[in-house]
Amino acid sequence: MALIRAYYKSPDHDFNLIHGDSFELLPQFNFKFDMIFADPPYFLSSGGISVQNGKIVCVDKGDWDKSMSQGEVNAFNLKWLSLCREKLKDNGTIWISGTYHNIFSVANCLTQLGYKILNVITWAKTNPPPNISCRYFTYSTEFIIWARKYEKVPHYYDYELMKHINGDTQMTDVWRLPAIAPWEKSCTKHPTQKPLGLLSRIILASTEPGAWILDPFAGSSTTGIAANLLERRFLGIEKEEKFAAISKARREEIENIKIFETYRRKIPDIVKAEDTQTDMFKCREPEPAMSLPFLDDC
């Protein structure tokens, strides 16, 4: 089978990006990942409006987010979740973000495919946009399903670290975290970009240093940036070239060690984690820079 051409590879091969469609690319390789994070289309782009920076704006994201029928949404979710299941290690886990518009479909598809749902995280945003219609409660949450590949194969969870981050009490499934901060938009942003603080918590909770993480809808690669800040390795697949370009710029930005360290200090969970485990970001065994075997040079 021919090698897949990389859109971008970081110098030490810990950040790899492919420009293309996950539906076409995922079947082309057999590599298994420790964790997957996916922020699939919510199919909300139907002419709605919201408020950003005090201004009323259209919330249409692009053709990739156009509204579809429920049957089409279910078929879409079933297909990509099936492809991703083949890319998980037997003890691997997957995280999927969404709103009520798509998350129930995702949950049903996970169950149908044999995944075991572990938690449904409620991300309660501390700085949500206002409700300009004043006809219902302000939307301030998103949901993140955490599931493992098999019903009875144990998964990795750093319970003690999450407890420490949460002030030495058990962390619940309600996370109060802000949306992206201005400093996270230094290379411009994706319209549905997730904050580094959110992805850092997910990665710290469910992987060890050196783990390989896949994002099949990479966007501006917040997953990959968080992974590299935490000494994990990343493969992202992004269909839109303009977002792949943002991903590349973001990864090149943290080649500057001062920016790299500044970003780590801005993420509270990383600061708290380092406070208790000074070696937690080091691989358990020395691992040489390793290129994914199915990628050629960009």
CATH code, domain carrying 245: 3.40.50.150
d(CA 250, CA 253): 5
Tell me phi and psi for residue 57, to 5 degrees.
-135, 155
Instruction: Answer yes or no: is 47 within a domain.
Output: yes
pLDDT, one tens digit per residue, over 207-261 is 999 999 999 999 999 999 999 999 999 999 999 999 999 999 999 999 999 999 9
Query: Strand pairing partners for 188?
Result: 186
Pick the more confident residue, 184 or 290.
184
Strand partners, 143: 98, 122
283 in Cβ contact with 258 (< 8 Å)? no
Residue 284 has a pLDDT of 47
Tokens in use for 272? 């708290």
State the Cα–Cα distance between residues 172 and 121, nearest whole angstrom. 8
Return mean pLDDT, the chain.
90
Residue 293 counted as domain residue: no
pLDDT at residue number 192:
86
Burial of 159 (0-12, 13-18, 19+ CB in 10 A): exposed
- The confidence band for 276, taking pLDDT boundaries of 50, 70 and 90, is confident
Q: Is residue 12 part of a domain?
A: yes
**pLDDT at res. 51:** 56
Radius of gyration of the chain (CA): 18
On whether residue 298 sits in a domain, the answer given is no
pLDDT grade, residue 82 (50/70/90)? very high
Range of 222's domain?
Answer: 4-282
Would you say residue 295 lies in a domain?
no
Q: Which residue has the tokens 């879409």?
A: 76
Count of domains forming the chain:
1
Distance CA 149, CA 117 (A): 9
0.75 exceeded by pTM: yes
Instruction: State residue 59's pLDDT score.
Output: 58
- pLDDT for residue 65: 53
pLDDT beyond 90 at 22: yes
Tokens of 93: 């886990």
The closest of 22, 19, 25 to 248, measured between CA atoms, is 19
Question: What's the pLDDT score for residue 91?
Answer: 98
Between residues 53 and 139, the one the model is more confident about: 139
Rounded to an integer, what distance in angstroms lies between the CA atom of residue 84 and that of residue 120?
19
- Residue 26: inside a domain, yes or no? yes
Asked if residues 39 and 61 have their Cβ atoms less than 8 Å apart, the reply is no
Residue 184 belongs to some domain of the structure: yes
Who's near 117: CB < 8 A, 6+ residues apart?
107, 110, 111, 145, 146, 147
Q: Would residue 191 count as lying in a domain?
A: yes
- Judged by average pLDDT, the poorest of 112-116, 165-169, 183-187, 287-291 is 287-291
